Amino acid sequence: MEERHLTTVAINLQDSTFAAAVLQSLPIGVISYNKELKILNANSAASALIDVREQADVTLSAGINEKIWGDWHQILLNVVATGKICKFDNVGYSANGNNLSLQITLVPMYNGNGGRQIAGGIMLLENVTGIATIAKQQAHTERLAVLGKLASKVAHELNNPIDGIMRYINLAKRTIISDRDHTKPLEYLEYATGGLKRMVQIITELLEFSRSRHSPSEDTSLDKIIEDAVKFIEPKARAAAVEIDRQCHKTLPKTKNSNLFQVFCNLLKNAIEAMPDGGKVTITCDISSDNIASIKFRDTGQGFEPQNSEAIFEPFFTTKTGGKGTGLGLAICRDILEKYGGKITAENAPDKGSIFTVYLPLKE
Cβ contacts of residue 54 below 8 Å, gap of 6+? 38, 39
The model's pLDDT over 165-202, given as tens digits with 9 standing for 90+, comes to 777 777 777 777 776 666 777 777 777 777 777 677 66
3-state class percentages of the chain: helix first, strand second, coil last, to nearest 5: 45, 25, 30
The mean per-residue pLDDT over the stretch 226-234 comes to 86
Give the per-residue pLDDT at 111.
80
Helix (H, G, I), strand (E, B) or coil at 80: helix
Mean pLDDT of the chain: 76
Own/partner long-range contacts of 232-235 (Cβ < 8 Å, ≥24 apart)? 232/261, 232/265, 233/265, 233/268, 233/269, 233/272
Report the pLDDT value the prediction gives residue 320, as an integer from 0 to 100: 57
Cβ 247 vs Cβ 282: under 8 Å:
yes
Mean pLDDT, range 229-247, rounded to an integer: 88
- Is the per-residue pLDDT at 215 higher than 70? no
For the segment 17-32, the average pLDDT, to the nearest whole number, is 80
- Max Cα distance, the chain (Å): 104
**Global pTM?**
0.45
Q: What is the mean pLDDT of residues 29-50?
A: 90
Phi, psi (degrees; rounded to nearest 5) at 254: -85, 155
Residues 92 and 102: their CA atoms lie apart, in Å, by 7
Q: Say whether pLDDT at 6 is over 70.
A: no
Report all structural domains of the chain as residue ranges with CATH numbers, in order of start: 16-127 (3.30.450.20), 136-210 (1.10.287), 219-361 (3.30.565.10)
